[in-house]
Amino acid sequence: MCGAELSSLPEGVQRVAAVLLDKGHPHMPQMLDDAARTAQQAADALGIAVGQIAKSIIFRRKSDNAAVLVVTSGDRRVDEKKVEAIVCDGGGKLGRADADFVKAATGFSIGGVSPIAHSTKPVTLIDRELFRFEEIWAAAGHPHGVFKLSPHDLESLTGAPVADVVQESPAP
């Protein structure tokens, strides 16, 4: 991807592409024809399992108003109590992050929050469930933008720890 191609992309996708280029990541963002605001929409557009979507969930840590990013598998639900236990020292609480908070804290709109290239570095956790897959896809800063990576790439790109942050799955 060259400079001219980058400049035609939405601003958020340009930021993500710049980080990927800087880190030598082999896969640049792709723009989908249709919006992929949900993990299911993204999986359908890419023809992959919904679990292969690395969805970015933002919480607000109440003690200091910090953004907390949990990158989880698209077929899992985040367990807020588990996340709180990891990121809230001394029994603090997590709060829901509304659209204005997400945009201000990350620089991205809900539906396009990338795990990288945030305007302010969030506290980040990676769901260990993503490691069930060799290939995953994440939002690239826009509801139509995605990029391919491995769970290990995600770990390397974010510098975030891998943790158990999801609700227990019901037994089959």
| CA 3/CA 14 separation, integer angstroms | 10
- Global pTM reads 0.92
CB 94 within 8 A of CB 84: yes
CATH classification of 3-163 is 3.90.960.10, yes or no? yes
- pLDDT tens for each residue of the chain, 172 residues long: 444 455 688 999 999 999 999 999 999 999 999 888 889 999 999 999 999 999 999 999 999 999 999 999 999 999 999 999 999 977 789 999 999 999 999 999 998 999 999 999 999 999 999 999 999 999 999 999 999 999 999 999 999 999 999 998 654 4
Query: What pLDDT score was predicted for residue 171?
Result: 47
How far is residue 147's CA from residue 139's CA, in Å, rounded to a whole number? 7
* Chain mean position to CA 68: 11
Parse the chain into domains and list their residue ranges. Answer: 3-163
Confirm if 33 and 45 have CB atoms less than 8 A apart.
Answer: yes
Sign of the torsion angle spanned by Cα atoms 162, 143, 147, 106: negative
Q: Is 53 helix (H, G, I), strand (E, B) or coil?
A: strand
Query: What is the structure's pLDDT at 37?
Result: 83
